[in-house]
Amino acid sequence: MIMDSACSLLHSAHEDEREFEMGDYQGPVARWCAGCGDHSVLTSAQRLLAEEQLKPETTVFVSGIGCSSRFPHYMKTYGFHGIHGRALPVATGVKLTRPDLDVFVVMGDGDCVSIGAGHWIHAIRYNVDMVALLLDNNIYGLTKKQTSPTTPQGYRSNTQPRGSYLPAMNPLEATLGVTNASFVAQTAEWVPAHLFATLKAAHAHKGFAFVRILQRCPHFTPDMYAEAVKKPDIIEILDHPEGIRADGIDKVYKNKISHDPLNLNAARELAQDQSAIRLGLFFRDESYPRYEETRATNKRTAREKMDILNEEFDSYAV
């Protein structure tokens, strides 16, 4: 379902001089629960679009299935509310066909880390220029508190009432382990300045920018991040001149660790170590090949492609 919620396809040279405000990106009132972390991410995304003056008609939000996947409905941009686990291949197709568009992907933990895991790994490797947001609330919210791959071991859910059997999957560790991963960051929706700075850095990145957003689900897992919200000291901020700098959080979030985002091995170690909740840029390297660029070196006209195909078919003539 493609939603044409952008104001109009007809834009003149005069309209190109428009100045966009946050309201220009705001769709209908979001139907998420009160206090749901998705609201904060939505506001931050709308603020980013306004700050970067992205045109609504050349911006696309693609999602899969889940609570957070209702995201495109609430944006006054183009959107594609797709199939469970298939947001990334859809978004890849959009970006390869229309490289001029700004493409954002919104997925939940069930959507990305479970049913979409195969697509997730290959989207990282393809490194197509887009922003992929994993809104990780550690539970399937839409299907009423079912264990997801990121549910902590022992956490009780409606599908595993005695507690989740397995250790939770670590999306940062997994992403950093994939060949060609070029941007990996983590933020939290209850730290809006850091969330916004992270989205901004992800959008500025040339390549596949993967952002895991720790997201509260007050309806089903109100206790999941309660301690982290109350005690800022258990959060560690990754600090580096080349990293993500969020204005005004230093007074509250004093616990910092220096980390050079070009150091992949250190990023992997930090992601693996669960002794603290770490927010910041784990890794960024824009020198990694992007699929759309490497593919573009082989650009042929439609006529040339037809000639090659005909020649190939002719070789089978009997």
- Positions that interact with ligand SF4 (CB under 6 A): 32-33, 36, 38, 67, 137, 141, 217-220
Question: How many whole angstroms separate alpha carbon 7 and alpha carbon 26?
Answer: 11
Cβ atoms of 209 and 131 closer than 8 Å: yes
Cβ atoms of 265 and 242 closer than 8 Å: no
Helix (H, G, I), strand (E, B) or coil at 136: strand
Can you say whether residue 53 is alpha, beta or left, with left for phi > 0 and alpha for psi between -120 and 50 degrees?
left
Let me know how long the chain is. Answer: 318
Question: How many whole angstroms separate alpha carbon 109 and alpha carbon 212?
Answer: 9
Instruction: Identify which of residues 36 and 191 has a Cβ nearer to ligand SF4 in the complex.
Output: 36
Structure tokens at 216: 């509260």
Instruction: Identify which of residues 70 and 194 has a Cβ nearer to ligand SF4 in the complex.
Output: 70
Cβ atoms of 241 and 200 closer than 8 Å: no
Query: Least distance (Å) from ligand SF4 to the CB of residue 238?
Result: 26
Instruction: Identify which of residues 131 and 217 has a Cβ nearer to ligand SF4 in the complex.
Output: 217
**Residues in Cβ contact with 177 at an 8 Å cutoff, skipping those fewer than 6 apart:** 268
Q: Which residue type occupies 111?
A: D
Question: How many whole angstroms separate alpha carbon 47 and alpha carbon 1?
Answer: 25
Query: Least distance (Å) from ligand SF4 to the CB of residue 106?
Result: 12
Query: Least distance (Å) from ligand SF4 to the CB of residue 273?
Result: 27
Instruction: Identify which of residues 114 and 127 has a Cβ nearer to ligand SF4 in the complex.
Output: 114
Query: Least distance (Å) from ligand SF4 to the CB of residue 219?
Result: 4
Cβ atoms of 210 and 218 closer than 8 Å: no
Instruction: Identify which of residues 217 and 228 has a Cβ nearer to ligand SF4 in the complex.
Output: 217
Instruction: Identify which of residues 61 and 126 has a Cβ nearer to ligand SF4 in the complex.
Output: 61
Query: Least distance (Å) from ligand SF4 to the CB of residue 148?
Result: 11
Strand order of the β-sheet with 235-239 is: 2-4, 78-81, 59-63, 102-108, 130-136, 208-214, 183-188, 277-284, 235-239, 256-258
Instruction: Identify which of residues 33 and 96 has a Cβ nearer to ligand SF4 in the complex.
Output: 33
Query: Least distance (Å) from ligand SF4 to the CB of residue 145?
Result: 8
Question: How many whole angstroms separate alpha carbon 184 and alpha carbon 195?
Answer: 14
